[in-house]
């Protein structure tokens, strides 16, 4: 009996790994292409084993006369700043909504969620008109703040979920002990909603890191991020540059992959919106 | 040092606390005794500043702090739920109030060590709260509340749910601590034994009102409120629905079990047909059938279930007026269950309360049998 | 706060690693931009990324810096930015709509002249060209189609809004190694009774029916070889350029540019036949050809999947790779015999320079200097040698010009008024384009099964657009209500 | 500081961001939608009343596009939810999967890719001549390599498949998270009570899991409704109009045609639909909560 159960368990493991592999396969194929020559990418039957070439990666760095580094720096700076601002601002609001429950809390939560419902192509237009009249086109901060706004609702929802799960008794105990409001917010309560913070950071990071439309329309060369570089570099005079797409995808997906690997527990916990404490 | 003036807090139409007045001038162990939902937690939270009153004021050390933030009230507080910070180790949890006060590290270490050893949690200082047992957590919470030097300590039912032995030990510790600190302890509990064991002074809270106040001896003797009479003590006080009648110019309290003549000073009841004759189980004595006492109340009852509570036994007596509890030492022989026996009460042990729960009077004597029969 | 030392180390590690990463990035970025020390005037050019002639301009532009310093004493720094074809217009138009000074000179597509000039975003160049001898000389050397395609709006008028950056025509790329193969030659002759063409001159005689025989001959799916590769993609104008070329050759028109009338012209019987014919060519093409963009054609040729391919002369460098250089020749695409005469009419490609109207005088001056420099014979020749397609006749007519690049003979041959034509420069062109791209790709992929329906759909849609915008006098007929793609 | 002031002070930065970057543009959008205004030609903006809206109502193609978009959302979210729930359940059940962390990382990668890159790269993965997928499909099924994006019938399912591939991991993640919200003690007692698998799902798992799961579905619905980069890169709405989702239409109106007035009206219409959809979801969620008496 035990033997049979063990076999069943092994089969289940195998099956689940197969599912993961299947989902990862296209990504793997793209990653593989980063180390292939152009001809190898297009070869049919597909090549799985080959001598890896670093040509694509080297070309990626050299191609835009070194602008690659600036794109990368822009991507890192803009997404890190935007997400940090968003989570910070959202935390303040979530704390207030969760703790003091001002009038119209539910309405505000829904209102903020509605940010997410606006089709990108819809707001980019008036936003563009607005930026134009304010002279914000191409401004770093204007882009960062926009992304921060866009990351707000999700952060707020996650954080409020978690904050609702943290008993007010903690706040009160600390307050009587003499803790200031900010001590309560950041030293007593914040550490307890860490999974929510991590989940909000990662999740919004994924969005901002990949966002193309707004940066392309509202930004300029100065604030161009990797996805914009990607879109701009899809075609070369040699045709579609599969190597470039693959290399760029590899290079800028890797950090997110690593992040997901290391904070997976927090991410999963975070996605429960605070309905669970403990293991997922 | 603590004064509450007409403190009222409403939730919707319901008043959770109504016009609470109390004044405590000297450091003492002050227990707020009340049932669940009586508002005692709320009272403490109001004192701590965690809630704002709708009416009335809180005065600390002679100044009105009603709208002062909790941080500024300089109180120590052990909340009902432990509220231990899960991200901090036990040591840091206990040290938290001291850190906030900016105490030097060495002092903190010393203070934490002291309170931890008092509460016997020195061994878990390096653990996180979720790694220790419930009882330990509770003691950590108490330690955190007590570690700080304050004039006023608010303890919200800190021993609830603890097992008997720890509780006994902690009761002593708390008393000692209060004596050592010479601070005012305001201790909320629904447990009569804790109340009696700890209190220098008791406030009894029923439905948001203080119905009784006084030293515990006084309250266990002749409380003003029926609720106090019924609940302060273990096992609970017997209460029989009775009526007051007039006989020979004296008030007589009658029920299905007995009748008793009331004291001279006895006030008339609001509703003479609905009064409560109360007597403590320990005042009910079993008497040998041959020994007939004049001026005492005797009644027949069938002994039902007998509960052993260690050192004493609680007898559940079936009487015409319903179940009556009696408590006997182990040394006293009692008849086996299901037998009828005679029990006896001293009239002065019977306290009578009126329909709204106010003390009406005390029994003075048993009426003559003849009078009764007539 | 007391934390386990391991955690402290981990935190410290993460912080340090992040700092190190940021530092590296910063240094990398700084190094990359170290050469860009500030200069008084920065001339920013927006061009098409991934498009050889545009990128060549970007590559050559810095040479202008020295020139400007030597001649006019002008201290200029050139900055070149690229946006992909499909997004360039959004980028350029939004920037201009914002009255932004971000880009001084923009490489626009020829059809955008109306859309960019009507709101007054770009400089009208008539007076400037008259004032500047160098530009006047260049202007004088352009032939009619060059002027119309790259300079005028309305199409054919005298309002000059742009100056040609590069010229471009459709070209047929042919695997001459296969054509010259003796076995193929003999077999073809056997089968069709005429000689399989192998030279420019022979190809000049090829008509579409003849070409079909050639395509059929080389269409050998079992060998992984197909006869032809054309463009059919919905992106931008890929299918339109080809289909419109066929229509013109079939005797059709795409609209009446004076009356802005489309309905009844675009969906004429000969246009339906032309569309049908072009889509029917898919049977000689590789799988997936019905969504081919330029890249599809390039890949088919460079990967050896197609015997021939019809695409732009500008992508010559991409097709004539080191492996393919000796195998492929560039010849005029097939013609059609009309009234006993060979007729070839194909879409022109290519892009004009346009100048942002919102820049200050200093930048304007630099921009003009730049344009003047661009038309210097030396610059044009250098552009040619690098693989761009110059348009100044004084360069095209130089002896030996046709030998500079393999496709120059064809390029010169096609860039003449009777063989090249451009489509609408109307401001609504993007909408017009979208409708017909939708209609024609629908037909190409079997969403609709009749060329007539596709053309009706495009004509109705375009008529409505022009009518709604106030250009056309006639509303689309009520029969349009019934026309729909599946 | 008085409490109400502090309360609102904390919310203020969020509201400020929201107001500047969302409300303001939206108001602008509302305003523009009443104007006849094209950036590249025609007279300066002219008040046109409800003309743009009546034009939309009369646009017979628009409804087809909206229908297509709704179909896309319905199918994409439906398939993703079912697949995500099943696989998520399996991953939750098998917590001792060797290398679970790595497995889940691999599983979650598709959703972190840039849609632009995915859309472009899938063009080659799907290519009947150079693509891996058609190649192996052909080998396996002994058919001609299918032309997925170039066929009027297959393009929509092919695009849908990429969306499903990208976003099923998201719902797997949400499912794993949602199931994690079910108290273990309850599950154990359900085991002891010998509830059937269905009963356990219905009465033990669902009440706890549904909030997170539904939230996942809401977020995915909202995002699916806005799908743009992916489709734009992969098919540009083609072939014909087979994948012309409404977000592509908005973008085209706004940034190809520069028909600002019309695009604004269309944007608002779409926004209205999205908000209604989300409201229905949230209503259902709330209603569920009320019914369960929580």
Of chain A, the percentage scoring pLDDT greater than 90 comes to 31
When pLDDT is averaged across residues C22-26 and rounded to a whole number, the result is 65
Q: What is the DSSP string of B247-289?
A: ETTEEEEE-SS-EEEEPTTPPPPSSTTSEEEEE-GGG-EEE-T
Span C402-447, pLDDT tens digits: 999 999 999 999 999 999 999 999 999 889 999 999 999 999 998 9
When pLDDT is averaged across residues A188-193 and rounded to a whole number, the result is 91
A137, A146 Cβ separation under 8 angstroms: no
Task: Quote the CA–CA distance of B59 and B66 in Å, as a whole number.
Answer: 7
Give the pLDDT score at B372: 47
Give the pLDDT score at C10: 56
Preferred mutation among A126, A175, A212, A243 to probe D, highest tally of D CBs within 10 A: A126
CATH number at residue D94: 1.10.3720.10
* Within a domain: D118: no
Q: Is A97 on the interface with D (CB under 8 A)?
A: yes
- CB contact under 8 Å between A128 and C98, yes or no, is yes
DSSP-derived letter for residue C414 is H
Apex C102 CA angle, C96 and C103, nearest 5: 75
Q: What does pTM read for this prediction?
A: 0.83
**CATH match for B235-373 among 3.30.590.20, 2.60.120.10, 2.40.50.140, 2.40.160.50:** 2.40.50.140
C12 pLDDT band (50/70/90 cuts)?
low
Q: What is the CA radius of gyration of chain B?
A: 24
Give the pLDDT score at D140: 92
The domain ranges of chain A are 65-270
The answer on pLDDT for A54 being more than 60 is yes
Q: Is C480 on the interface with D (CB under 8 A)?
A: no
Tokens representing residue C98 in the block: 């914002």
Span D182-203, pLDDT tens digits: 888 888 888 788 888 888 888 8
Torsion sign (Cα): A76, A79, A80, A82:
positive
Q: Which residues contact D14 (CB under 8 A, 6 or more apart)?
A: A89, A90, A92, A93, A112, A152, A156
Q: How far is D91 from chain C (nearest CA, A)?
A: 29
Task: Quote the CA–CA distance of D195 and D143 in Å, as a whole number.
Answer: 48
Give the pLDDT score at C15: 64
Within a 10 A sphere around the Cβ of C482, how many other Cβ atoms? Answer: 8
Task: Quote the CA–CA distance of C356 and D43 in Å, as a whole number.
Answer: 21
Q: Which residues contact B180 (CB under 8 A, 6 or more apart)?
A: none
C8 pLDDT band (50/70/90 cuts)?
very low
DSSP-derived letter for residue B235 is S
CATH class in words for B2-222: alpha beta
C219, C242 Cβ separation under 8 angstroms: no
Chain D nearest-CA residue for C120: D40
* Within a domain: D54: yes
User: What is the total residue count of chain B?
Assistant: 374
Q: How far is C21 from chain B (nearest CA, A)?
A: 30
DSSP-derived 3-state class of residue C94: helix
**C38-167+350-413 shares its CATH topology with C169-348:** yes
D103 pLDDT band (50/70/90 cuts)?
very high
Print the SS3 string covering C5-20: HHHHHHHHHHHHHHHH
- List, for chain B, all residue ranges whose pLDDT scores fall below the cut of 70: 264-269, 288-294, 334-335, 368-374
**Per-window interface: C 439-478 vs D, CB < 8 A:** 439, 441-448, 469-470
Terminal CA-CA length for chain B = 58
Domain interval for residue D176: 22-113+154-293
**Residue in D42, D152, D258 nearest the CB of C470:** D42
The domain ranges of chain C are 38-167+350-413, 169-348
Tokens representing residue A185 in the block: 């917010």
Chain A nearest-CA residue for B51: A172
Instruction: Write the CA distances from C89 to C112, D257, D258, integer angstroms.
Output: 8, 10, 11
**Residue in B79, B87, B148 nearest the CB of A169:** B79
Report the domain count for chain D. 1
Partners of chain C (3+ Cβ pairs below 8 A): A, B, D
* Within a domain: D241: yes
* Within a domain: D16: no
* Within a domain: D1: no
When pLDDT is averaged across residues A177-181 and rounded to a whole number, the result is 87
Tokens 């969760």, residue?
A98
Residues from chain A contacting residue B48 (CB–CB below 8 Å): 172, 176
Region of residue C120 (left: phi > 0; alpha: psi -120 to 50; beta: else) = left
**Residue in B71, B83, B101 nearest the CB of A180:** B71
Please tell me chain A's helix, strand, coil percentages from 3-state DSSP, rounded to the nearest 5.
Answer: 80, 0, 20
Task: Quote the CA–CA distance of A20 and C222 in Å, as a whole number.
Answer: 37
Torsion sign (Cα): B88, B89, B94, B100:
negative
Q: How far is C131 from chain A (nearest CA, A)?
A: 34
The answer on pLDDT for D116 being more than 80 is yes
DSSP-derived 3-state class of residue B80: coil
Region of residue C308 (left: phi > 0; alpha: psi -120 to 50; beta: else) = beta
- CB contact under 8 Å between A238 and C55, yes or no, is no
Task: Quote the CA–CA distance of B118 and A213 in Å, as a whole number.
Answer: 65
**Residue in D131, D181, D250 nearest the CB of A276:** D181
Task: Using an 8 Å CB-CB cutoff, list residues of chain B that contact chain C.
Answer: 88-89, 91-92
- CB contact under 8 Å between B83 and A169, yes or no, is yes
Give the residue from C233, C251, C148, C237 showing the smallest Cα distance to C432. C237
**Per-window interface: A 207-266 vs C, CB < 8 A:** 216-217, 220-221, 231-241
Please tell me chain B's helix, strand, coil percentages from 3-state DSSP, rounded to the nearest 5.
Answer: 30, 35, 35
The answer on pLDDT for A226 being more than 50 is yes
Print the SS3 string covering chain D: CCHHHHHHHHHHHHHHHHHHHHHHHHHHHHHHCCEECECCCCCCCEECCCHHHHHHHHCHHHHHHHHHHHHHHHHHHHHHHHHHHHHHHHHHHCCCCCCHHHHHHHHHHHHHCCHHHHHHHHHHHHCCCCCHHHHHHHHHHCCCCCCCCCCCCCHHHHHHHHHHHHHHHHHHHHHHHHHHCCCHHHHHHHHHCCCCHHHHHHHHHHHHHHHHHHHHHHHHHHHHHCCCHHHHHHCCCCCCCCCCCHHHHHHHHHHCCCEHHHHHHHHHHHHHHHHHHHHHHHHHHHHHHHHCCC
Torsion sign (Cα): C162, C167, C171, C175:
negative
Apex D10 CA angle, D6 and D16, nearest 5: 125
Give the pLDDT score at C22: 67
Tokens representing residue C439 in the block: 């209609």
The domain ranges of chain B are 2-222, 235-373
The answer on pLDDT for A60 being more than 90 is no
Preferred mutation among D1, D4, D6, D14 to probe A, highest tally of A CBs within 10 A: D14
| Strand pairing class (B250-254; B238-247) | antiparallel
Tokens 């509340």, residue?
B145
Tokens representing residue B202 in the block: 């008791």
* Within a domain: D121: no
Helical pair D60-93 and A2-33, crossing angle rounded to 10 deg: 140
Most confident of C179-183, D29-33, D43-47: C179-183
Preferred mutation among B46, B60, B71, B77 to probe A, highest tally of A CBs within 10 A: B71
CATH no., domain C38-167+350-413: 3.40.190.10
Q: Which residues contact D138 (CB under 8 A, 6 or more apart)?
A: D144, D145, D146
**Per-window interface: A 193-232 vs D, CB < 8 A:** 206, 209-210, 212-213, 217, 226-227, 230-231
Task: Quote the CA–CA distance of C93 and C150 in Å, as a whole number.
Answer: 18
Task: Quote the CA–CA distance of C360 and D112 in Å, as a whole number.
Answer: 44
**Residue in D18, D105, D208 nearest the CB of A112:** D18
**Per-window interface: D 90-149 vs A, CB < 8 A:** 90-91, 94, 96-99, 101-117, 120-125, 129-132, 135-136
Span A119-162, pLDDT tens digits: 777 777 778 878 877 888 788 888 999 999 989 988 998 899 88
Task: Quote the CA–CA distance of C121 and C260 in Å, as a whole number.
Answer: 23
Query: H or E stretch including B370?
Result: helix B369-373
CATH no., domain A65-270: 1.10.3720.10
**Per-window interface: A 20-49 vs D, CB < 8 A:** 20-21, 23-24, 26-27, 29-30, 33, 41-46
Give the pLDDT score at B374: 41
Residues from chain C contacting residue D38 (CB–CB below 8 Å): 427, 469
**Per-window interface: D 11-70 vs A, CB < 8 A:** 11, 13-15, 17-18, 20-22, 24-26, 28-29, 32
Partners of chain D (3+ Cβ pairs below 8 A): A, C
Complex ipTM tops 0.85: no
Half-sphere exposure of C379 (CA within 13 A, CB side): 26
Task: Quote the CA–CA distance of A208 and B264 in Å, as a whole number.
Answer: 87
When pLDDT is averaged across residues D2-11 and rounded to a whole number, the result is 87
Preferred mutation among B85, B86, B89, B127 to probe C, highest tally of C CBs within 10 A: B89
Task: Quote the CA–CA distance of B359 and B356 in Å, as a whole number.
Answer: 9
Task: Quote the CA–CA distance of D32 and D29 in Å, as a whole number.
Answer: 5
Tokens representing residue A213 in the block: 């439309």
Region of residue D156 (left: phi > 0; alpha: psi -120 to 50; beta: else) = alpha
Q: Is C4 on the interface with A (CB under 8 A)?
A: no
**Residue in C49, C55, C87 nearest the CB of A216:** C87
**Residue in A27, A248, A273 nearest the CB of D110:** A27
**CATH match for C169-348 among 3.55.50.30, 3.40.50.970, 3.40.190.10, 1.10.1060.10:** 3.40.190.10
- CB contact under 8 Å between A174 and B96, yes or no, is yes
- CB contact under 8 Å between D274 and A261, yes or no, is no
Phi and psi, residue D280, nearest 5°: -60, -45
Task: Quote the CA–CA distance of B300 and B8 in Å, as a whole number.
Answer: 48
A159, A190 Cβ separation under 8 angstroms: no
Preferred mutation among A214, A272, A277 to probe D, highest tally of D CBs within 10 A: A272
Query: H or E stretch including C420?
Result: strand C420-421
Task: Quote the CA–CA distance of B204 and B219 in Å, as a whole number.
Answer: 9
């Amino acid at each position: 009996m035990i033997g049979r159960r063990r076999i069943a368990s092994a089969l289940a493991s195998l099956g689940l790994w197969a599912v993961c592999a299947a989902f990862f396969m296209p990504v793997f194929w793209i990653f593989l292409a980063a180390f292939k020559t152009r001809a190898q990418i297009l070869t049919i039957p597909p090549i799985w084993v080959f001598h890896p070439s670093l040509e694509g990666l080297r070309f990626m760095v050299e191609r835009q006369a070194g602008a690659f580094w600036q794109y990368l720096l822009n991507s890192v700076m803009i997404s890190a700043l935007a997400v940090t601002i968003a989570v910070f601002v959202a935390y303040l609001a979530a704390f207030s909504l969760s703790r003091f429950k001002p009038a119209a809390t539910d309405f505000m939560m829904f209102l903020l969620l509605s940010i997410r419902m606006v089709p990108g192509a819809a707001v980019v237009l008036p936003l563009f008109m607005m930026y134009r009249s304010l002279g914000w086109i191409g401004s770093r901060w204007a882009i960062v703040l926009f992304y921060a706004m866009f990351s707000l609702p999700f952060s707020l929802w996650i954080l409020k979920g978690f904050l609702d799960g943290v008993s007010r008794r903690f706040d009160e105990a600390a307050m009587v002990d003499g803790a200031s409001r900010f001590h309560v917010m950041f030293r007593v309560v914040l550490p307890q909603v860490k999974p929510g913070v991590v989940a909000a950071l990662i999740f919004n990071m994924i969005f901002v890191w990949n966002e193309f439309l707004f940066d392309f329309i509202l930004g300029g060369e100065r604030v161009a991020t990797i996805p914009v570089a990607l879109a701009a570099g899809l075609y070369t005079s040699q045709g579609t540059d599969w190597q470039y797409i693959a290399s760029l995808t590899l290079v800028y997906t890797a950090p997110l992959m690593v992040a997901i690997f290391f904070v997976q527990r927090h991410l999963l916990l975070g996605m429960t919106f605070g309905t669970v404490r403990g293991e997922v | 040092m603590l004064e509450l003036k007409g403190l009222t807090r409403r939730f919707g139409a319901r008043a959770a606390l109504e016009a609470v007045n109390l004044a405590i001038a000297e450091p003492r162990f002050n227990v707020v005794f009340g049932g669940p939902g009586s508002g005692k937690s709320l009272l403490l939270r109001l004192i701590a500043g965690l809630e704002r009153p709708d009416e009335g004021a809180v005065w600390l050390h002679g100044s009105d702090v009603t709208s002062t933030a909790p941080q500024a009230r300089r109180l120590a507080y052990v909340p009902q739920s432990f509220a231990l910070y899960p991200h901090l180790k036990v040591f840091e949890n206990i040290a938290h109030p001291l850190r906030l006060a900016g105490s030097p590290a060495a002092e903190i270490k010393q203070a934490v060590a002291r309170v931890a050893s008092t509460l016997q949690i020195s061994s878990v200082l390096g653990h996180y709260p979720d790694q220790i047992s419930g009882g330990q957590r509770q003691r950590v919470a108490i330690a955190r509340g007590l570690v700080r030097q304050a004039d006023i300590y608010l303890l919200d039912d800190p021993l609830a749910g603890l097992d008997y032995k720890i509780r006994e030990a902690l009761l002593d510790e708390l008393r000692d601590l209060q004596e050592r600190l010479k601070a005012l302890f305001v201790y909320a509990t629904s447990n009569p034994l804790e109340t009696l064991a700890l209190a220098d002074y008791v406030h009894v809270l029923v439905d948001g009102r203080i119905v009784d106040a006084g030293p515990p001896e006084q309250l266990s003797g002749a409380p003003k409120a029926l609720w106090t009479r019924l609940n302060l003590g273990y096992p609970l006080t017997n209460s029989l629905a009775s009526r007051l009648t007039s006989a020979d110019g004296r008030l007589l309290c009658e029920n299905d079990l007995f009748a008793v003549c009331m004291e001279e000073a006895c006030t008339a009841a609001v509703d003479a047909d609905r009064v409560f004759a109360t007597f403590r189980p320990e005042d009910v004595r079993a008497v040998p059938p041959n020994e007939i006492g004049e001026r005492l109340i005797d009644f027949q009852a069938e002994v039902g279930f007998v509960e052993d509570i260690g050192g004493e036994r609680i007898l559940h007596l079936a009487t015409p007026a319903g179940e009556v509890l009696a408590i006997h030492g182990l040394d006293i022989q009692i008849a086996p269950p299901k037998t009828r026996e005679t029990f006896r009460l001293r009239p002065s042990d019977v306290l009578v309360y009126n329909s709204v729960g106010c003390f009406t009077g005390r029994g003075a004597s048993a009426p003559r049998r003849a009078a009764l029969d007539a | 706060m007391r934390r386990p030392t391991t955690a402290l180390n981990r935190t410290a590690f993460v912080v340090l690693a992040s700092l190190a990463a940021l530092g590296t990035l910063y240094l990398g970025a700084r190094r990359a931009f170290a050469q860009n020390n500030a200069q008084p005037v920065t001339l920013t050019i927006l061009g098409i990324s991934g498009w050889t002639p545009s990128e060549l301009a970007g590559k050559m532009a810095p040479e202008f810096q020295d020139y400007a310093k030597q001649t006019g004493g002008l201290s200029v720094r050139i900055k070149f930015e690229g946006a992909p074809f499909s997004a360039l217009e959004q980028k350029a138009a939004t920037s201009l709509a914002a009255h932004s000074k971000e880009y001084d000179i923009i490489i626009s597509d020829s059809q955008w002249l109306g859309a960019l000039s009507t709101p007054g975003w770009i400089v009208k160049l008539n007076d400037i060209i008259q004032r500047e001898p160098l530009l006047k000389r260049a202007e004088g050397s352009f032939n009619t189609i060059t002027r119309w395609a790259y300079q005028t709006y309305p199409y054919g008028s005298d309002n000059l809004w742009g100056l040609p950056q590069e010229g471009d025509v459709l070209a047929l790329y042919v695997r001459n190694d296969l054509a010259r193969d003796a076995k193929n030659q003999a077999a073809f002759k056997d089968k069709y009774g005429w000689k399989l063409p192998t030279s420019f001159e022979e190809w000049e005689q090829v008509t579409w029916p003849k070409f079909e025989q050639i395509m059929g001959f080389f269409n050998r799916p079992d060998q992984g070889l197909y006869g032809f590769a054309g463009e059919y993609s919905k992106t931008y104008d890929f299918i339109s350029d080809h289909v419109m070329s066929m229509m013109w050759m079939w005797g059709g028109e795409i609209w009446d540019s004076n009356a802005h009338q489309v309905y009844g012209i675009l969906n004429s019987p000969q246009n339906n036949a032309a569309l049908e014919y072009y889509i029917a060519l898919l049977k000689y093409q590789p799988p997936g050809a019905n969504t081919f963009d330029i890249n599809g054609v390039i890949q088919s040729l460079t990967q050896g999947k197609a015997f021939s391919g019809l695409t732009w002369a500008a992508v010559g460098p991409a097709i004539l790779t080191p492996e393919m250089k000796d195998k492929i020749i560039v010849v005029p695409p097939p013609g059609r015999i009309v009234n006993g005469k060979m007729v070839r009419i194909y879409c022109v490609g290519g892009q004009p320079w346009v100048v942002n109207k919102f820049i200050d005088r200093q930048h304007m001056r630099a921009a003009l200097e730049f344009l003047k420099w661009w038309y210097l014979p030396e610059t044009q020749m250098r552009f040619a040698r690098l693989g761009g397609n110059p348009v100044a006749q004084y360069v095209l007519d130089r002896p030996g010009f046709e030998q500079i690049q393999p496709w120059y003979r064809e390029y010169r041959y096609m860039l003449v008024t009777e063989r090249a034509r451009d489509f609408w420069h109307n401001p609504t062109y993007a909408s017009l384009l979208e409708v017909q791209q939708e209609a024609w790709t629908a037909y190409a992929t079997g969403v609709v099964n009749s060329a007539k329906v596709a053309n009706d759909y495009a004509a109705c849609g375009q008529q409505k657009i022009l009518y709604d915008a106030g250009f056309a006098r006639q509303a689309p007929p009520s029969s349009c209500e019934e026309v729909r793609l599946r | 500081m008085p409490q109400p002031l502090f309360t609102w002070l904390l919310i203020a930065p969020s509201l400020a961001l929201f107001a500047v970057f969302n409300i303001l543009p939206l108001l602008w959008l509302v305003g523009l939608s009443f104007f006849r205004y094209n950036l590249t030609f025609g007279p300066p903006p002219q008040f046109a009343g409800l003309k743009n809206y009546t034009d939309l109502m009369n646009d017979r193609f628009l409804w087809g596009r909206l229908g297509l978009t709704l179909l896309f959302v319905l199918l994409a979210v439906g398939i993703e939810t079912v697949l995500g729930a099943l696989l998520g359940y399996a991953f939750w059940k098998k917590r001792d999967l060797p290398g679970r962390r790595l497995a889940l990382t691999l599983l979650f990668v598709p959703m972190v890719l840039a849609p632009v890159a995915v859309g472009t790269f899938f063009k080659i993965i799907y290519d009947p001549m150079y693509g891996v997928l058609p190649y192996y499909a052909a080998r396996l099924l002994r058919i001609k390599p299918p032309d997925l994006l170039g066929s009027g019938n297959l393009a929509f399912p092919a695009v849908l498949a990429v969306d499903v591939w990208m976003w099923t991991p998201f719902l797997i993640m949400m499912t794993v998270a949602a199931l994690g919200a079910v108290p273990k003690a309850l599950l154990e007692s359900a085991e002891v009570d010998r509830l059937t698998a269905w009963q356990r799902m219905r009465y033990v798992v669902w009440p706890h899991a549904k909030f997170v799961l539904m939230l996942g579905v809401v977020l995915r619905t909202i995002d699916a409704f806005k799908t743009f980069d992916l489709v734009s890169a992969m098919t540009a709405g083609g072939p014909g109009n087979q994948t012309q989702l409404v977000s592509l239409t908005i973008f085209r109106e706004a940034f190809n045609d520069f028909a600002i007035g019309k695009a604004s009206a269309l944007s608002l219409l779409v926004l209205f639909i999205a908000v209604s959809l989300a409201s229905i979801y949230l209503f259902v969620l709330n209603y569920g909560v009320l019914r369960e008496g929580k």
